[in-house]
Chain A
Amino acid sequence: MSTPIISIKNLHAEVEGHKILKGFNLDIYPGEIHAIMGPNGTGKSTLAAVIAGKDEYEVTEGEVIFNGKNILELDPNERAAEGVFLAFQYPIEIPGVSNTNFMKAAVNNIREYHGKDPLKAKDFLKLMKEKQELVELKGRLANRSVNEGFSGGEKKRNEIFQMAMLDPKFAILDETDSGLDIDALKIVANGVNQLHTKENSFLIITHYQRLLDHIIPDFVHVMYDGKIVKTGNKDLALELEEKGYDWLK
């Protein structure tokens, strides 16, 4: 078997003295889709933020090896450049920064990290157009400020669009399905499925089984009190939908 794309070992993290992650372990291999489910407040979003590098979380123990590097030592932008992507649960509005300039900076900063020249304007716009079609946002967002005035669904589709633009090796979708109607959910799921290859992997954080009808996970984990307490296949999600989480606590 190949080496994991990401290997999270005994991860402990806290925020303002509150211990949230308490020995989280997970290996994800290339091409795999993992789902994490679990009740509110068990540390799912903290896990996502710690991997992406949000600095208000303090890692007290453990490591996250990505591509052979302990990415906990890297800045968030370096993690992104290495190929980690976080689709935010609550995408941030950035008034005055257009989506085009935002993505141009992102794409070219990542290229620079890898010692590549910036993308030519023509090639960049072609890429934008192509990836926007994937999430059915064609031309609607280019000149608008990032996420400003977007509906909940548009914001989530914009996250998937950004993911498509950056083509990460590993993406975390943090409750991307919450607040989506069924049509938007299908668009998002379709985007993920089209981007999924044998080389890249996904970690899907969700409360609901319905997203997993559209994106079929290889593994479903239940997270409780800062660590994984049960792992199964996609049928586990159905079981959770039926029984809730109490039987696992």
Chain B
Amino acid sequence: MSVIAPIKNKKFMDAILANSEFVSGFDQLRSKGNKGLESTPFPTLRHEYWKYTKVSGLLNKEFTINKIVNPVISEETLAMMGDNPRLIFVNGFLNLDLSILPTESGISVTGLSDLSENDLAKFPVDWENEQEAFTLLNEASFTDGIHVSVAKNTKIEAPLFIVHIQNGDKTGSANRNYFELATGSEATFITVFEGDQEISFSNQFSSYLVADNAVLNAFDYHQNGDLSNLVSVAIAHQYANSHINLGSYIFGGKMLRKNIYVSVLGTNCETTINGAYILNDKQTADFRVIVDHKAAHCNSNQTFKGVMSDKASGVFNGKIYVRKDSQLINAFQTNRNILLSDDANAYSRPQLEIYADDVKCSHGSTIGQLDEDALFYMMARGIRRLEAEKMLVSAFVADAIANVNYEPFQEVIMESIASKSAKF
């Protein structure tokens, strides 16, 4: 691999780092990021895990992080949230006027400005020291973030919404959010991304600490603006008897790259990671998903479904590790894709790396088209082609959203599938 001097993207970095409204008190993290950037180049197509997504265009632009006033939250998001608590980030700054803090007992939200680096030392920040330039840039440039903690043996009923609104031409944002579920607790977080139609760049980092017997449900819903770019890292550690249930649903945004790392550190865990991406135009969604089984007697399941039309690209790069003494693991990984045009692309690399001998693992991927026989059958019953396609796409994606445990959100996803399909 050729090493490109990081100086190459200096303007890109300088513009983002020029923001002076950083949350203070995280000097170690910031200097770690800055230092890392000196020796870690931004990815090119020659990078093993960035083979299919080109970021050179993004890196040639200069994004600035600045606060804006009077942001607008979409009607759809407002309707979906109902009366539930919400944390609203606008261009990466937590806006308390628009937010509604949770009132249920057992859940607390603290802004990073009220915390020190020591308070967050227990959270995972990387997987096997894998540090990409974007993640380092996040460490160096993050403006704001939250720490959510759920108390021992408490089930939080209301989902907590986290909404990221990105507005303004050439604006950037960078956040770090930390979620801590104490022993036996349960909570649901739904993160919504939306914004205007200007060029933007959002750099997100989330860390999850899931203690024994806890249940984490965390879903991302992407209705990012048409010209927006997003890179995000989600990293989780889970301990014995815990459940992690993640979902990523992508409809909007020009380029989205999502790295998801789950380390299973205790026995009898359940891990579900699902994703669906319905893309058109020149959209790209690129997933790197790692499930690392470091303990025995666990189940993990990944279901990723992609539907691409026009010149869109969907990338799934998934890997399951089963470490040497992690016996009796059931691990499954599926990535299925439908291409609706000649110029659409699907890249699928489901991989297993197994060092234990008593395990049940499978992986698979398919890339195909909508079933023409089914379309004809439906049309022969009077169903318009567009409607028939919509129904087949919804049916295809359905099992990737089956794990969503908040029904109004599931309905919103279904509606988005239908309305996105109508644009094909």
Contact = CB atoms under 8 A, between A and B. Distances in A.
| A, B co-complexed | yes
Interface of A: 52-55, 75-77, 79-81, 85-86, 88, 91-92, 94-97, 101-103, 105-107, 109-110, 113, 145, 162, 166
A72 B373 CA distance: 19
Interface in B373-409: 373-374, 376-385, 387-388, 391-392, 394-396, 398-399
A94 B381 contact: no
21 contacts: A52-B380, A77-B379, A77-B382, A77-B384, A79-B380, A80-B381, A86-B380, A92-B373, A92-B377, A94-B377, A94-B395, A96-B394, A97-B395, A102-B381, A105-B387, A105-B388, A105-B391, A106-B381, A106-B383, A109-B382, A110-B382
A146 B376 CA distance: 14
**Secondary structure of the B side of the interface?**
helix
A105 B383 contact: yes
Interface string B365-378: 00000010110111
Interface residues of B, number: 22
A63 to B, nearest CB: 20
A81 B380 CA distance: 9
A54 B377 CA distance: 9
A97 B377 contact: no
Given A92-B377, A94-B377, A77 B395 contact: no
Contact of B395 (A85, A86, A95): A95
A111 to B, nearest CB: 9
Q: Is the interface of A mostly helix, strand, loop or mixed?
A: helix
A85 B382 CA distance: 9
A96 B391 CA distance: 9
Interface of B: 371, 373-374, 376-385, 387-388, 391-392, 394-396, 398-399
A77 B373 CA distance: 14
Given A92-B377, A94-B377, A77 B383 contact: yes
A110 B374 CA distance: 18
A95 B391 CA distance: 11
Contacts of B399: 96
Contact of A76 (B379, B387, B394, B395): B379
A102 B382 contact: no
A168 B178 CA distance: 60
A162 B395 contact: no
Contact of B382 (A54, A80, A101, A145): A80
B387 A80 contact: no
Nearest to A49: B376
